[in-house]
Structure 1
C-alpha cells in the first residue's frame, strides 16, 4: 500500500462536523493506503489545548502527528490571524524535517493552512488533493465575518492559488464545485459529501403521546453561522420544547437567555460524545438545522447524519441543503432567515406526524441514497 498524508486544521477528539468528516475520510482511506494525519493539538471549540495529548499517536492504524498551535477563540481578527499562522508555521517546520508522502489531501478552510501546504508541496511534484468543505472567503462575506476590501481581495487570490495548485479538488456540495469550475475549469473535481458510516439504530414501533409538546432538538456547534441564540429568541414555544446540545461562541448567551426566561421550555444539555449524542437524539421527535444566513455552498452534514438516525428534520438554512431535505422527503423546510415562516411551519405540525413509520422511512431513504462507501470507492480509484 502507498503512503498518504492528510493535512487538517480539525481532528478528533475535537467535536463537530469538520473533525468527524476528516476522521471518517482517514479511516476509510486507511483500508487501502498507509494514512497519516498532521493536525494541531486539539483545541476546538474552546480555544484551549486539551490535556493529555501527545504529539504522536496511532488510532485504528492511522498515524496522527499533532503540531504546535497558538489556539484562540478571540473575536479580534489579528489574534485569529496569528492563531491560523501559528499552525502554518508548524506545518512548514514539519515539511523541512520530515519525509512527505507523494500523495497529500489538504483540507480547506482555513485558506492560509491550505495555502501554506500547497505552496511548499507543489514544487516537489506531489499529487495534491484539495478537500473544500466551505467556500472561503465567499462564505465569510455572507456571514458578515469578512468585509469587502483589501483583505477580501487577498483572500480571493489565495483561494485561486489553492485551486490552481490542486491536481484533484473534492467539494462537499454541487454549489462548491460549480464555483470552483468557474476558476479552474480543467481541474478534475469530485462531489464528496459528508456521509456518515456508523451503524444505524433500529427504530422500534411506538405510540405517540398526543398530550405532550413536540420535542425538537438542536445538536452541534453553537457558532455565529448557526444562529442558535437568535433562534431561541424567535421561536414560538406554544407547541414545542427545545433541547440544545453543543458548545461554541454563543454558549454563554444561550445559557443567559435560558436563565433570564425560566418559563420558556428550553433545556441546555451541554456537550456529549458523538456516540452518546446519537443515543440521546433518539429521544426526540425532530431536529432543527438552522443557518443564520443562507451560505452559498453550505450543506450541513447534520442532514445526512440525523436522517441515518431516522430523525425528521426541520431545515432553516436555504440553498442546496433545503433542496436535499425537500427532494428526499426528510422533513420540513422554512424560508431561510424568515422566523415567521419557521413558526408557521411548526404551528402546522401535529403529534401524529412523528410516529415511528415516518422515522423508519427517513432512515431507509438515508441508507439507500447517502452511502459513504460508494463515494469512498470512487475517491480511492482517483488517488
Structure 2
C-alpha cells in the first residue's frame, strides 16, 4: 500500500467545487489501495468562521472513510480586506510548517493550488530529490485575479508571478483542470509533465422523471457560491423575467445584496432558497428546467465544475462565462451559451428557450453524454498511471 498525502485549503464538511474535487480524489485513491492522508485547515468556508464542532481547537485529527484527516489552525475570514486575507493564508502556512517539522511526510504529495502562498510553502519546504511533488492547479493565479480586478500589475503582482513559476518548477507532475491551464504552464515550462484532470463528479445520478408542475414559465436555477466572480447579483438585476423565474441556492459575499434586492422588488420572480447539502441539492435540481452558470467576466483557465455535475443530472445548461467552459457546453450539446458579459444577448438566448424544448428525452440525452464522456473513475484510473 503506497502512502500519499494531499495538502489542500478546502475539504468537507466545507462545501464547493474545490472541496468536492479533493474529497473525491482522496476517496478514489483510498479505494484503489492507497494509504491517504489529508492536511487541511479547520473548516471555515464559505462562512469565514470556524465551524461549531471545531471551535477552540488548534488541531483536529480524525479517520473518516479510512482517510486520515489533519485539520490545522487558520485565521478564518471572508473579509474583502487584502491584508486580512493575506493573514489567513500566512496563518495556515505557519500551521503547515509546524506540521512538517513534527510529522513524517510521505514520499508522494499532492498540493492544491491556489492559494499560491499555501502551495509555495508546501513546495518550498517539501522539495527534495527523493520526494515526488504533484501540483493540482484548479485556477490560474495571479492571472485570474488580474481578470477579476483583484490585482493590478505592480510589484505585488510580479512577486505572485515568481511564486507561481517556482511552484511549477518544483512540481514533478502537474494536474490541470482545463486545457487552458496546461497551455499556460507549458508556455513557461515546455518540458513539464502535465495531465488534464477535469473536475468530474462521482455520484450515482438519480432517475430523471417528467415534471408536470408548470406555470408556463421556464424555471431557471443557479446553485453555488454567491461570490464576486459569479456575478449573481448583477444577473438578478439584468434578467428579463417576462417568461422565466429564477431560483437561487447557495451562500457567499453577495447573499445579503441578493436578499435585499428581492425584498425591494417583491414582484420579481426571484426565489432565494439558501444553502443546502449537495445530496439534497441533487434532488431539488431535478425539478428545474435549465441551470444557469454565469461568470461576471471570462476567466482564462476556468472551467466551472457545475458543467459536469449538471450534465450528469440531465439538467440542460445555459452557460454565460465564455472560454473553455463555453466550448464544452457547445461541443457536447449540453444546452445553450451566451456571450460572456453581454446581458442583452443573454436575454435574447433565454427568450428562445421554451418549455416544449426541455423534454424528458433531452434530459436523458444529456445524462447519457455525461456518463459516457465525464467518467470520474476512468479519469482517475488513467491518472494513477502517472503517480
1:250 to 231, 249, 254: 254
SS in 1 for 2:111: strand
1:284 to 285, 288, 301: 288
Deviations 1:8-60 (A, max 9, x none): 00000111101000001100111221000000000001100001137011111
Deviation at 1:124? 6.0
Task: Give the corresponding residue for 1:158.
Answer: 163
> In 2, are the aligned partners of 1:132 and 1:172 still within 8 Å (CA)?
yes
Deviation at 1:123? 3.1
1:58 aligns with 2:59: no
Rounded to whole Å, the distance in 2 between the matches of 1:214 and 1:178 is 38
1:328 to 315, 327, 332: 332
Task: Give the corresponding residue for 2:190.
Answer: 185
Q: Normalising by structure 1, what TM-score?
A: 0.98
Deviations 1:286-318 (A, max 9, x none): 100000000000000000000000000000000
Deviations 1:315-372 (A, max 9, x none): 0000000000000000000000000000000011111011111100000000000011
1:102 aligns with 2:107: yes
Task: Give the corresponding residue for 1:22.
Answer: 22
> In 1, are the aligned partners of 2:211 and 2:287 still within 8 Å (CA)?
no
Structure 2's unaligned 5+ residue stretches are: none
Task: Give the corresponding residue for 1:142.
Answer: 147
Rounded to whole Å, the distance in 2 between the matches of 1:146 and 1:43 is 24
Task: Give the corresponding residue for 1:35.
Answer: 36
Deviation at 1:204? 2.4
RMSD between aligned alpha carbons?
A: 1.0
SS in 2 for 1:48: coil
Deviations 1:140-191 (A, max 9, x none): 0000011110010000000000000000000000000000001111111000
> In 2, are the aligned partners of 1:290 and 1:316 still within 8 Å (CA)?
yes
SS in 2 for 1:262: coil
> In 1, are the aligned partners of 2:109 and 2:134 still within 8 Å (CA)?
yes
Rounded to whole Å, the distance in 1 between the matches of 2:176 and 2:384 is 15
1:225 aligns with 2:235: no
Rounded to whole Å, the distance in 2 between the matches of 1:124 and 1:329 is 46
Rounded to whole Å, the distance in 1 between the matches of 2:9 and 2:131 is 20
Rounded to whole Å, the distance in 1 between the matches of 2:152 and 2:255 is 25
Rounded to whole Å, the distance in 2 between the matches of 1:358 and 1:153 is 48
Rounded to whole Å, the distance in 2 between the matches of 1:208 and 1:154 is 55
Rounded to whole Å, the distance in 2 between the matches of 1:110 and 1:147 is 18
Rounded to whole Å, the distance in 2 between the matches of 1:176 and 1:184 is 12
**Length, aligned pairs only:** 382
Q: Normalising by structure 2, what TM-score?
A: 0.97
SS in 2 for 1:163: helix
Deviations 1:105-142 (A, max 9, x none): 00000000000000001136310000000000000000
Task: Give the corresponding residue for 1:363.
Answer: 367
